């Protein structure tokens, strides 16, 4: 049984009334709901989990538990996520080609969903302030096969300097007091106090002040938390409407199991009923709050700025003909997804790393970048070695140069970094899959040995 603080219980008895509050407390003693999303970017391959119990209102999402050891997870076919946490990205209705920022993005649950909605067109900036978490974010973006992401490890302030009035959509999945996660992570209860709730609300406003600067006029802001606290939910949304003249948009989610925000918890702002609330007693998932808002102003104002920026495009760091040839000898043997077909025109080289950028900066950027677009690989003396991210991105398309590992033993051996004996006429770089899910590069020499190119940092 969860040891909920007395002040917490008293607060929710006051807000909800005794009967509803007791329902909430007893639901918090039940097991948390587990679910996963299936990646629509990857080439369609049957997965081994049951798809019988879909999460309401979310496409390609199902209740069920998956493990980080499963081949489906390793190759980026599934992502484990709290079902309620799937809603902020789902209500963003991101359109292919838009410029999207996920400001508080790690570990990447919502980033991967936004990437799917963009279908690798447009730009996805995924930012995380903590360096260790940003590395995990990068790995998840890579595994998911997203090719149009800029992954950064920055403060919201530094990002706002680089991207004024720039994004069509910004998701702020804010750091919060985490009340909605108490039954999943009971340790979070130790941090709870009403003072902590108010500190979080202050921090949320500071993050949002920066997000507002980066949103183009008319752009959409998705604000979400995993807490029940009105100070961090309805009151913050109401503040955005007063401070910045944002309007609250309808999420278009209509399901009896999903509650709405409360006007009376946000200075009687009537539009707060358009926001979403997830309570454990409603049975969808963990606690979550989500709102979609719009910045005032017209789209044209942002388009003008975009045109101005285009003039300054730099074309230094392009590949030489010779370098293009080395890269082409390897990657032209694979079927490239649409966004990489004209890689010769787009690719840049930096410290021998060849990449197709998600965004080109006009000067030397001060931003701390972990990944920009797709790393094609590394130029070594007179040869080119393809990078791991490229293997994950090539997994979008049905490929022919593939070695499908024969059984679980071979798969585990490969994950450990071992070489594998294969019977194949293929020579040189090949993609490596298990159960037809591509997860790595490998290289076959004349002696029918598959050399291991699974990155050392990911080996088990």
Ligand X SMILES: C[S@@+](CC[C@H](N)C(=O)[O-])C[C@H]1O[C@@H](n2cnc3c(N)ncnc32)[C@H](O)[C@@H]1O
Catalytic residues: 226
Contact between 271 and ligand X per CB under 6 A: no
- Extended beta strands in 300-406, E state: 348-350, 353-356, 369-372, 374-380, 383-386, 402-405
SS3 410: helix
Question: Smallest distance from the beta carbon of 124 to ligand X, in angstroms?
Answer: 13
SS3 176: coil
Question: Smallest distance from the beta carbon of 130 to ligand X, in angstroms?
Answer: 4
- Is 176 known to sit in a ligand binding site? no
CB-based contact 296:240 (threshold 8 Å): no
Question: Smallest distance from the beta carbon of 170 to ligand X, in angstroms?
Answer: 12
Q: Give the number of residues in contact with ligand X, rule: CB under 6 A.
A: 17
Start-to-end Cα distance in the chain: 35
Contact between 183 and ligand X per CB under 6 A: no
User: Measured between alpha carbons, how far is 120 from 405 in angstroms, rounded to an integer?
Assistant: 28
User: Measured between alpha carbons, how far is 217 from 10 in angstroms, rounded to an integer?
Assistant: 42
User: Measured between alpha carbons, how far is 62 from 52 in angstroms, rounded to an integer?
Assistant: 7
Closest CA to 306 of 372, 362, 363: 362
CB-based contact 124:150 (threshold 8 Å): yes
Contact between 105 and ligand X per CB under 6 A: yes
The single residue among 106, 272, 354, 356 that binds ligand X, judged by CB under 6 A, is 106
Q: Which stretch binds ligand X (CB under 6 A): 55-63, 91-99, 103-111, 451-459?
A: 103-111
Cα 429 to Cα 78, 145, 350, 385: the distances in Å are: 26, 19, 23, 9
Contact between 134 and ligand X per CB under 6 A: no
| φ, ψ (nearest 5 deg) of residue 142 | -65, -50
Contact between 133 and ligand X per CB under 6 A: yes
The single residue among 54, 56, 64, 175 that binds ligand X, judged by CB under 6 A, is 175
The single residue among 40, 130, 303, 424 that binds ligand X, judged by CB under 6 A, is 130
- Is 110 known to sit in a ligand binding site? yes
- Is 109 known to sit in a ligand binding site? yes
The token pair at 229 is 């606290």
Contact between 58 and ligand X per CB under 6 A: no
Contact between 122 and ligand X per CB under 6 A: no
The single residue among 11, 37, 99, 110 that binds ligand X, judged by CB under 6 A, is 110
Contact between 262 and ligand X per CB under 6 A: no
Contact between 150 and ligand X per CB under 6 A: no
Residues of each annotated binding site for S-adenosyl-L-methionine? 104-110, 128, 173
Q: Which residues are annotated as a binding site?
A: 104-110, 128, 173
Contacting residues toward ligand X, per CB under 6 A = 85, 104-110, 128-130, 133, 156, 173, 175, 203, 207
């Amino acid at each position: 049984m969860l040891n909920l603080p007395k002040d917490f219980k008293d607060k929710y008895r006051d807000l909800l009334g005794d009967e509803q509050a007791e329902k909430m407390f007893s639901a918090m003693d039940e097991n948390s709901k587990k679910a996963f999303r299936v990646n629509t970017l990857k080439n369609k391959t049957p997965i081994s989990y049951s798809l019988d119990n879909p999460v309401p209102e979310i496409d390609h999402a199902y209740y069920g538990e998956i493990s980080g050891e499963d081949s489906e997870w390793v190759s980026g076919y599934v992502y484990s996520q709290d079902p309620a946490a799937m809603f902020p990205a789902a209500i963003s209705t991101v359109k292919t080609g838009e410029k999207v920022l996920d400001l508080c993005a790690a570990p990447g649950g919502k980033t991967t969903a936004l990437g799917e909605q963009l279908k690798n067109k447009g730009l996805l900036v995924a930012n995380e302030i903590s360096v260790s978490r940003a590395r995990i974010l990068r790995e998840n973006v890579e595994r998911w096969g997203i090719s149009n992401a800029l992954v950064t490890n920055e403060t919201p302030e530094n990002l706002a300097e680089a991207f004024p009035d720039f994004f069509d959509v910004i998701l702020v999945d804010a750091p919060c007091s985490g009340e909605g996660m108490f039954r999943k992570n009971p340790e979070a209860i130790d941090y709870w106090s009403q003072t902590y709730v108010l500190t979080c609300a202050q921090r949320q406003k500071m993050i949002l002040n920066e997000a507002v600067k980066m949103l183009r006029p008319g752009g959409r802001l998705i604000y979400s938390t995993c807490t029940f606290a009105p100070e961090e939910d309805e009151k913050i949304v109401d503040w955005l409407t007063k401070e910045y003249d944002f309007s609250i948009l309808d999420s278009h989610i209509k399901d009896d199991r999903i509650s709405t925000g409360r006007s009376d918890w946000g200075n009687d702002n009537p539009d707060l009923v358009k926001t979403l609330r997830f309570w454990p007693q409603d049975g969808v998932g963990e606690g979550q709050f989500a709102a979609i808002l719009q910045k005032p102003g017209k789209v044209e104002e942002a388009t003008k700025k975009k045109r101005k920026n285009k003039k300054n495009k730099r074309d230094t760091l392009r590949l030489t003909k010779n370098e293009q040839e080395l890269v082409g000898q390897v990657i032209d043997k694979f079927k490239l997804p649409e966004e990489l077909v004209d890689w010769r025109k787009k690719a840049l080289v930096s410290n021998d790393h060849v990449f197709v950028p998600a965004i080109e900066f006009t000067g030397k950027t001060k931003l701390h970048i972990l990944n920009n677009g797709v790393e094609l690989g590394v130029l070594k003396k007179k040869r080119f070695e393809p990078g791991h991210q490229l293997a994950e991105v090539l997994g979008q398309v049905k490929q022919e140069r593939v070695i499908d590992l024969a059984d679980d033993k071979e798969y585990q051996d490969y994950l450990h970094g071992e070489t594998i004996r294969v019977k194949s006429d293929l020579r040189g770089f090949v993609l490596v899959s298990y159960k037809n899910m591509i997860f790595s590069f490998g290289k076959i020499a004349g002696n029918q040995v598959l050399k291991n190119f699974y990155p050392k940092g990911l080996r088990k």
